[in-house]
Structure 1
Amino acid sequence: MTPIYIDSHLHTSFSGDSETLPRAQIEQACALGMQALCITDHQDFEFPAGDISFLLDTDEYFSALTRLQTEYQEKIRLGIGVELGLQTNIKTDLAAYADSCPFDFIIGSVHASRGMDPYYPEFFEGLSEDSAYRSYFEDELENFRAHDCFDVAGHLDFVVRYGPNKNQYYSYKKFSDILDEILRTLIGKGKGIECNTAGLRAGLGHPNPTEDILKRYRELGGEILTIGSDAHQPDHIGYSFDRAGSLLKDCGFRYYTVFRGRKPEFLPL
């Protein structure tokens, strides 16, 4: 029997890029037989100007999700998390925000690099694809060194989802120097990473980060690993989790992690 893993990265209509009501995500998780899930809507302060606001109404978010926790307490354990956009220039503000709310789980993600969102083509203008990727990894490293206000680093190599050639010419080996430094920094600070299956959904053939990075994290002594679909709609919850479980075992993991009250719990794969 295939284990039913807990989804620790998903979004709802509290995020600027989702229209799905929290109840719909919870109902889908229940239908899949998940014992728990954690909603992690976006909070990106001072995000580069674009078509979408990623500012979270935190008071209303907690109010709504707390009501749903009570309503569904006999069916599923609902965690209240956040995906926090890391930027070094607002380090103090992010730390204060993280401490101001009783989050179960905080994902630290770099969504803005060189003052731009990699989702848009202008991020890659004037640079080779490899140079753009490396500049993004350099920003990640700077942020992970600077911040302590998160539990797990989000989708480490998600920049490749949006490159001109996506991951056609990308590999861990090509960027192993800086990727290893990122992993060592996270491990040294007691932070985890995630296996984000949105890369599989986006047609990359690999999760974010790739199997080679996941394996290297384990080789370097990393133990804290969550599994997340990055779902913005119900049919993406738990996407390819059966495949994720198998590849994580191949990478040397025997356990994955869920968080409750910012504390890790380890569950068998």
Structure 2
Amino acid sequence: MFYDYHVHSNFSPDSKTSMTKMIETCINLGLKEVCFTDHMDYDVKQTDKFVLDYKEYLKTLELMQNKYKGKITIKKGIELGLQPHLIEKYNQDMKNYKFDFIICSQHAIDKNDLYYDEYFKNKSQKEAYEVYYKTLYDIIKNYNNYSVVGHVDLIKRYGNYSNILKDSLFIDIIESILKEAIYKGKGIEINTSCFRYKLPDLTPSRKIISLYKDLGGEIITTGSDAHSPAFISCKFDYICSYLKDLGFKYISTFNNLKPNFIKL
């Protein structure tokens, strides 16, 4: 039984697929549970489309929970695009709206979406990576209303570089990010979009996953980051086997922001 804890629907502007279609695909694939984590990204220069209507989103999720009761468990999740100046805004949002699961992601720095070139201008590749990790650490240190850190090394996906820099160049700050998350009782996700983007390693990398375990991290979720049915639970059989071989005993699901541990 697989549990996909990073799935998008057409509540996210980069998906054209309805919740109904995503859910029915999950059922056909035999998933035990799915958590929708549609985007909420405030204050991005390149677009204002990633701001969803919390009330309508949660209302639709509740309708889906009732419609598919007994067939699949559907959890209420959200993927927050954090920037340091948005911490108080998201703190207030998370007080006003109740979720089972919250991904803390960093998609933009200084209001520039990493998908576009603006962030990378006038920076070396090393500087671009370093600023990304230091900013993520600032967020993790000062923001608490989340369940897992999303795609820790997302920066590797962008920048149109010919190669990906080694984790060892930034290992001190990466370790600090993981330590802070562990100290606060938070987890990380394995995001299998790495296969869709044809990255040379997992997301986060095997080195980062191993470091998280060595530091005592235990909360880990599996997420496809699927925006269409074709990628739901992508390579989860491999990921679960890999985690078990690495020494993890459980993956996590969430209910009312509390982790449940599912034996691998």
Deviation of the 1:85 alpha carbon: 1.4
Contact 1:211 1:251 (C-alpha < 8 Å) held by counterparts: no
**Structure 2 partner of 1:249:** 244
1:268 matched to 2:263? The reply is yes
SS of 1:8's partner is strand
**Structure 2 partner of 1:105:** 101
**Structure 1 partner of 2:36:** 39
Deviation of the 1:253 alpha carbon: 1.2
**Structure 1 partner of 2:136:** 140
Q: 2 CA distance for matches of 1:265 and 1:206?
A: 27
Q: 2 CA distance for matches of 1:174 and 1:80?
A: 37
Q: 2 CA distance for matches of 1:210 and 1:37?
A: 24
Q: Which runs of 5+ in 1 are unaligned?
A: none
SS of 1:178's partner is helix
Mapping of residues 105-184 of structure 1, within 5 Å: 105-165=101-161, 168-184=163-179
Rate the CA distance shift 1:43–1:136 in 2: closer, same or farther, 3 A.
same
Q: 1 CA distance for matches of 2:23 and 2:239?
A: 21
1:216 to 211, 226, 238: 211
**Structure 2 partner of 1:207:** 202
**Structure 1 partner of 2:225:** 230
Contact 1:158 1:199 (C-alpha < 8 Å) held by counterparts: no
Q: 1 CA distance for matches of 2:169 and 2:241?
A: 25
Rate the CA distance shift 1:251–1:131 in 2: closer, same or farther, 3 A.
farther
Deviation of the 1:247 alpha carbon: 2.1
What percentage of residue pairs aligned between the two structures are identical? 39
Q: TM-score, normalised by structure 1?
A: 0.94
Q: 2 CA distance for matches of 1:102 and 1:177?
A: 34
Q: 2 CA distance for matches of 1:52 and 1:89?
A: 17
Q: 1 CA distance for matches of 2:70 and 2:87?
A: 39
1:73 matched to 2:69? The reply is yes
Contact 2:15 2:228 (C-alpha < 8 Å) held by counterparts: yes
SS of 2:88's partner is helix
Write the deviation string for residues 138-190 of structure 1: whole angstroms up to 9, x where unpaired. Answer: 11000001101111100000111113226x33222221111001111111111
Task: Give, as a single letter, the amino acid of the residue that structure 2 aligns with 1:216.
Answer: L
Number of aligned residue pairs:
264
SS of 1:9's partner is strand
Task: Give, as a single letter, the amino acid of the residue that structure 1 aligns with 2:248.
Answer: F
**Structure 1 partner of 2:26:** 29
Contact 1:129 1:164 (C-alpha < 8 Å) held by counterparts: no
Deviation of the 1:251 alpha carbon: 2.9
Deviation of the 1:250 alpha carbon: 3.2
1:7 to 4, 13, 26: 4
Q: 1 CA distance for matches of 2:197 and 2:65?
A: 31
Q: Which moved more, 1:148-157 or 1:93-102?
A: 93-102
Q: Which moved more, 1:134-143 or 1:202-211?
A: 202-211
**Structure 1 partner of 2:91:** 95
Say what the alpha-carbon RMSD is for the aligned residues. 1.3
Contact 1:214 1:251 (C-alpha < 8 Å) held by counterparts: no
Q: Which moved more, 1:101-110 or 1:170-179?
A: 170-179
Deviation of the 1:52 alpha carbon: 5.6
Q: 1 CA distance for matches of 2:238 and 2:48?
A: 32
Q: Which moved more, 1:143-152 or 1:115-124?
A: 115-124
Contact 1:105 1:259 (C-alpha < 8 Å) held by counterparts: yes
Contact 1:215 1:252 (C-alpha < 8 Å) held by counterparts: no
